[in-house]
């Protein structure tokens, strides 16, 4: 499969995540809900690593790559903790679009840190997404 197919799969799964998580946080502390979700993801991902025989590659992970993966995990954890609390306090239909404003942060960081170009077309698309997210706040 191409990266575009995986990205679309990611979007569909993330969309389902918002609704499933909203149902799951009812009557459950948001931090506990995040811990349960994280444990499931750990077991699921570990199972895939073992099933594909990728565990041997762990020894080849450079310290730099490991550091950035750990930092990415910390950012993900913080994001999930805030996301679950937001879902507990607000409607999924408004929390999810605001959460997707992470696209703006990603584009800025990718341009500044990774040197990735931002075309006019991409900038306009992101601006429209931001406008759409802002419009959901007034619904």
Same domain assignment for residues 73 and 105: no
Distance (Å, whole) CA 81 – CA 33: 9
pLDDT (0 to 100) of residue 14: 86
Q: Please spell the DSSP secondary structure of 12-72, one letter per residue.
A: HHHHHHHHHHHHHTTTS-HHHHHHHHHHHHHHHHHHHHHHTT-GGGGGG--HHHHHHHHHH
Sign of CA dihedral 12, 43, 59, 67: positive
Same domain assignment for residues 78 and 136: no
**Kindly report the CA angle at 135 between 99 and 72, in degrees rounded to 5?**
15
* Residue keyed to tokens 């931001």: 130
pLDDT (0 to 100) of residue 5: 92
Same domain assignment for residues 111 and 84: no
pLDDT (0 to 100) of residue 133: 86
pLDDT (0 to 100) of residue 116: 95
Same domain assignment for residues 85 and 107: no
**Full residue range of the structural domain in which residue 124 is found:** 100-139
Mean pLDDT by 10 residues, the chain (139 residues): 90 88 92 95 96 95 96 93 92 89 92 95 93 82
pLDDT (0 to 100) of residue 80: 92
pLDDT (0 to 100) of residue 46: 97
pLDDT (0 to 100) of residue 93: 87
| pTM score | 0.82
Instruction: Identify whether 95 is part of a domain.
Output: no
Same domain assignment for residues 73 and 43: yes
Same domain assignment for residues 43 and 11: yes
Distance (Å, whole) CA 22 – CA 91: 8
The backbone region for 133, taken as left when phi is positive above 0, alpha when psi lies in -120 to 50, beta otherwise, is alpha
Instruction: Identify whether 60 is part of a domain.
Output: yes
């Amino acid at each position: 499969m191409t990266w575009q197919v995986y990205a679309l799969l990611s979007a569909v799964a993330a969309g389902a995540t918002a609704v499933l998580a909203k149902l799951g946080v009812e009557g459950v502390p948001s931090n506990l809900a995040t811990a349960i979700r994280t444990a499931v993801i750990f077991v699921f991902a570990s199972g895939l690593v073992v099933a594909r025989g990728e565990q041997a590659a762990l020894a080849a992970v450079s310290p730099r790559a490991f550091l950035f993966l750990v930092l990415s995990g910390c950012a993900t954890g913080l994001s999930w903790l805030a996301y679950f609390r937001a879902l507990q306090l607000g409607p999924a239909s408004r929390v999810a679009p605001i959460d997707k404003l992470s696209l703006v942060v990603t584009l800025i960081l990718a341009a500044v840190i990774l040197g990735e170009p931002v075309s006019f077309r991409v900038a306009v698309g992101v601006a429209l997404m931001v406008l759409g997210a802002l419009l959901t706040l007034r619904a």
